Amino acid sequence: MTMSGAEMKRVTAAVPFEETDFVKAVMEHSDQLYSIAYSYLGNRNDALEALQETTCRAWMKRRTLKDSGAFKSWLIRILIYVCIDEQRRRKKAVPTAAEHMQEAVIHNSTESMEMQWALSQVKVKYRHVLLLKYYNDMTLAEIAVLLKKPEGTVKTWQHKGLKQLRTIMKNRGEWDGQ
């Protein structure tokens, strides 16, 4: 996504305080944003790139934010969309052997890789709740606000997601001859 010179001038013509405040606000949540991106993408470089893309999209769309108190959830929502876009892109691209082996071998134990695989099999809306709850320590109330769903719906998705995950892990054991 490249911008023309006119677009770049319009985006950067903001008041300096606004830019400083925006950067401070993003940096305040950067650890949690990184954690969420990593839980979706499973790769440090991709997570950092997702953060960068999220910051860029948020900066360009900053005037659409109606309630500054909702900045964090707005930013996380943008990040989730960026991560989903990256996951879709990955499905279309065929990784080279070097890309496929690069980070997974270094950072993931067998159990972690099995859990990542099992989570990838869970229905997407349930996976979102499980990742945010168990990998990013968000409360169900926070997840409900973030996903713009009633808390009861989020609880149901958590329950159904955990049930799917248990079934997947149980069946995996049967496939391995365990």
Question: For the whole prediction, is pTM greater than 0.95?
Answer: no
The CATH number of the domain covering residues in 1-107:
1.10.1740.10
CB 82 within 8 A of CB 53: yes
Residue by residue, DSSP assigns 35-49 as HHHHHHH--HHHHHH
CB 50 within 8 A of CB 82: yes
Q: CATH topology of 1-107 equal to that of 109-178?
A: no
- Indicate the domain borders of the chain: 1-107, 109-178
CATH 1.20.120.450 fits 109-178, yes or no: no
53-68, pLDDT tens digit by residue?
Answer: 999 999 888 888 888 8
100-151, pLDDT tens digit by residue?
Answer: 444 444 445 666 777 777 888 888 888 888 888 888 888 899 888 888 899 9
C-alpha span between 112 and 53 (Å, rounded): 27
